[in-house]
Amino acid sequence: MNKPHTYPLSMRVVHWLMAALVLSLLFAGLTMVKSLGPWQQQLLAWHKVMGVIALLAIVIRLIIRLRSETPKLPDTVPKMQQLAAKLTQFGFYVLLFVMPLSGYLMQNAAGRPLSLFGLPLPTLLNTDLALYGLFREMHGWAALLLVLLIVVHILAALYHGLIQRDGVFRSMVRK
Protein backbone atom coordinates (compact mmCIF):
# COMPACT_ATOMS: atom_id res chain seq x y z
CA MET A 1 0.00 0.00 0.00
CA ASN A 2 1.34 3.44 -0.89
CA LYS A 3 1.93 5.86 1.95
CA PRO A 4 -0.02 9.14 1.76
CA HIS A 5 1.84 12.37 0.95
CA THR A 6 0.06 14.31 3.70
CA TYR A 7 -1.13 13.59 7.19
CA PRO A 8 -4.85 12.85 7.56
CA LEU A 9 -7.01 15.88 8.25
CA SER A 10 -7.76 14.64 11.79
CA MET A 11 -4.04 14.53 12.62
CA ARG A 12 -3.38 17.94 11.09
CA VAL A 13 -6.26 19.54 13.03
CA VAL A 14 -5.22 17.93 16.32
CA HIS A 15 -1.56 18.88 15.68
CA TRP A 16 -2.33 22.58 15.24
CA LEU A 17 -4.91 22.74 18.04
CA MET A 18 -2.50 21.05 20.42
CA ALA A 19 0.31 23.36 19.30
CA ALA A 20 -1.83 26.36 20.25
CA LEU A 21 -2.89 24.75 23.54
CA VAL A 22 0.62 23.68 24.55
CA LEU A 23 2.19 27.03 23.65
CA SER A 24 -0.47 28.90 25.62
CA LEU A 25 -0.02 26.55 28.61
CA LEU A 26 3.76 27.02 28.51
CA PHE A 27 3.38 30.78 28.25
CA ALA A 28 0.89 30.82 31.14
CA GLY A 29 3.08 28.56 33.26
CA LEU A 30 6.20 30.63 32.68
CA THR A 31 4.24 33.83 33.36
CA MET A 32 2.81 32.49 36.62
CA VAL A 33 6.20 31.66 38.12
CA LYS A 34 7.55 35.12 37.29
CA SER A 35 4.75 37.22 38.78
CA LEU A 36 2.57 37.57 41.82
CA GLY A 37 -0.02 39.76 40.14
CA PRO A 38 -3.67 39.74 41.22
CA TRP A 39 -4.55 37.85 38.04
CA GLN A 40 -2.25 34.94 38.92
CA GLN A 41 -4.92 32.88 40.72
CA GLN A 42 -7.28 33.09 37.75
CA LEU A 43 -4.47 32.17 35.35
CA LEU A 44 -3.53 29.23 37.59
CA ALA A 45 -7.14 27.99 37.62
CA TRP A 46 -7.29 28.25 33.81
CA HIS A 47 -3.88 26.52 33.54
CA LYS A 48 -5.10 23.56 35.61
CA VAL A 49 -8.28 23.06 33.56
CA MET A 50 -6.45 23.40 30.26
CA GLY A 51 -3.75 21.02 31.50
CA VAL A 52 -6.38 18.33 32.09
CA ILE A 53 -7.77 19.03 28.62
CA ALA A 54 -4.24 18.72 27.22
CA LEU A 55 -3.94 15.27 28.81
CA LEU A 56 -7.21 14.20 27.20
CA ALA A 57 -6.07 15.70 23.88
CA ILE A 58 -2.77 13.79 23.87
CA VAL A 59 -4.66 10.54 24.47
CA ILE A 60 -6.94 11.35 21.52
CA ARG A 61 -3.93 12.34 19.42
CA LEU A 62 -2.16 9.06 20.19
CA ILE A 63 -5.27 7.04 19.30
CA ILE A 64 -5.60 8.91 15.99
CA ARG A 65 -1.87 8.44 15.32
CA LEU A 66 -2.01 4.70 15.95
CA ARG A 67 -5.03 4.31 13.65
CA SER A 68 -3.76 6.52 10.81
CA GLU A 69 -1.53 5.97 7.85
CA THR A 70 1.15 8.67 7.91
CA PRO A 71 3.54 9.91 5.23
CA LYS A 72 7.03 8.48 5.03
CA LEU A 73 9.92 10.91 5.09
CA PRO A 74 11.44 11.38 1.63
CA ASP A 75 14.45 9.20 0.80
CA THR A 76 16.45 12.42 0.43
CA VAL A 77 16.28 12.98 4.19
CA PRO A 78 19.50 11.57 5.70
CA LYS A 79 19.15 8.61 8.06
CA MET A 80 20.44 10.66 11.04
CA GLN A 81 17.72 13.28 10.43
CA GLN A 82 15.12 10.53 10.16
CA LEU A 83 16.32 9.14 13.51
CA ALA A 84 16.27 12.65 15.01
CA ALA A 85 12.69 13.11 13.75
CA LYS A 86 11.59 9.83 15.35
CA LEU A 87 13.31 10.66 18.64
CA THR A 88 11.79 14.14 18.65
CA GLN A 89 8.32 12.73 17.99
CA PHE A 90 8.79 10.17 20.77
CA GLY A 91 10.03 12.92 23.09
CA PHE A 92 6.95 15.01 22.32
CA TYR A 93 4.60 12.17 23.19
CA VAL A 94 6.46 11.43 26.44
CA LEU A 95 6.58 15.08 27.51
CA LEU A 96 2.98 15.73 26.50
CA PHE A 97 1.98 12.97 28.92
CA VAL A 98 4.49 13.88 31.64
CA MET A 99 3.55 17.58 31.74
CA PRO A 100 -0.15 17.25 32.60
CA LEU A 101 0.34 14.11 34.73
CA SER A 102 3.06 15.74 36.82
CA GLY A 103 0.90 18.85 37.21
CA TYR A 104 -2.09 16.75 38.24
CA LEU A 105 -0.06 14.73 40.74
CA MET A 106 1.61 17.90 42.02
CA GLN A 107 -1.81 19.37 42.82
CA ASN A 108 -2.88 16.09 44.46
CA ALA A 109 0.25 15.99 46.62
CA ALA A 110 -0.35 19.63 47.63
CA GLY A 111 -3.85 18.70 48.82
CA ARG A 112 -5.51 20.83 46.13
CA PRO A 113 -8.41 18.97 44.54
CA LEU A 114 -8.95 19.45 40.83
CA SER A 115 -12.14 19.66 38.84
CA LEU A 116 -13.00 19.88 35.18
CA PHE A 117 -15.99 22.08 34.37
CA GLY A 118 -17.33 21.65 37.89
CA LEU A 119 -16.88 17.87 37.99
CA PRO A 120 -14.42 16.77 40.69
CA LEU A 121 -11.50 14.70 39.45
CA PRO A 122 -10.21 11.76 41.49
CA THR A 123 -7.45 12.38 44.01
CA LEU A 124 -4.70 9.86 43.34
CA LEU A 125 -2.30 10.86 46.14
CA ASN A 126 -2.54 11.91 49.75
CA THR A 127 -1.08 15.26 50.74
CA ASP A 128 2.70 14.86 50.79
CA LEU A 129 4.99 17.89 50.52
CA ALA A 130 7.98 15.76 49.46
CA LEU A 131 5.98 14.34 46.56
CA TYR A 132 4.68 17.81 45.77
CA GLY A 133 8.29 19.00 45.45
CA LEU A 134 9.22 16.03 43.26
CA PHE A 135 6.29 16.54 40.88
CA ARG A 136 6.87 20.30 40.81
CA GLU A 137 10.50 19.75 39.77
CA MET A 138 9.41 17.18 37.20
CA HIS A 139 6.82 19.61 35.82
CA GLY A 140 9.38 22.40 35.56
CA TRP A 141 12.08 20.30 33.87
CA ALA A 142 9.57 18.76 31.48
CA ALA A 143 8.44 22.29 30.53
CA LEU A 144 12.02 23.30 29.73
CA LEU A 145 12.59 20.14 27.68
CA LEU A 146 9.30 20.72 25.87
CA VAL A 147 10.33 24.27 24.97
CA LEU A 148 13.62 22.90 23.62
CA LEU A 149 11.82 20.27 21.52
CA ILE A 150 9.40 22.86 20.19
CA VAL A 151 12.29 25.08 19.06
CA VAL A 152 14.00 22.12 17.38
CA HIS A 153 10.71 21.09 15.76
CA ILE A 154 9.99 24.58 14.42
CA LEU A 155 13.54 24.95 13.09
CA ALA A 156 13.33 21.56 11.36
CA ALA A 157 9.93 22.45 9.87
CA LEU A 158 11.29 25.75 8.55
CA TYR A 159 14.39 24.01 7.18
CA HIS A 160 12.26 21.49 5.29
CA GLY A 161 9.71 24.08 4.18
CA LEU A 162 11.97 26.96 3.17
CA ILE A 163 15.34 25.41 2.34
CA GLN A 164 14.88 21.76 1.37
CA ARG A 165 11.35 22.16 -0.03
CA ASP A 166 11.04 18.39 0.11
CA GLY A 167 7.35 18.14 1.07
CA VAL A 168 7.92 17.36 4.74
CA PHE A 169 6.50 20.70 5.92
CA ARG A 170 3.73 20.63 3.35
CA SER A 171 2.57 17.22 4.63
CA MET A 172 1.32 18.84 7.85
CA VAL A 173 -0.13 22.07 6.44
CA ARG A 174 -2.17 21.13 3.38
CA LYS A 175 -3.72 18.32 1.39
Residues 16, 13: Cα–Cα separation, whole Å: 5
Q: What is the pLDDT of residue 2?
A: 57
Q: Is residue 1 part of a domain?
A: no
Residues 101, 114: Cα–Cα separation, whole Å: 12
Residue 112 has pLDDT above 90, yes or no: yes
Cα end-to-end distance, the chain, whole Å: 19
Q: Is residue 26 part of a domain?
A: yes
Contact 175, 18 (CB under 8 A): no
Domain that holds residue 19: 9-173
Question: What phi and psi values does residue 97 have, to the nearest 5 degrees?
Answer: -90, -45
Q: What is the pLDDT of residue 175?
A: 66
Nearest to 15 by CA among 140, 157, 164, 166: 157
Q: Can you give the CATH number for the domain in which 131 is found? A: 1.20.950.20
Q: Is residue 3 part of a domain?
A: no
Q: Is residue 2 part of a domain?
A: no
Q: What is the pLDDT of residue 108?
A: 96
Residues 28, 35: Cα–Cα separation, whole Å: 11
Q: Is residue 161 part of a domain?
A: yes
Q: What is the pLDDT of residue 169?
A: 87
Residue 19 has pLDDT above 70, yes or no: yes
Total domain count for the chain?
A: 1
Q: What is the pLDDT of residue 173?
A: 83
Count CB-CB contacts under 10 A for residue 108: 22
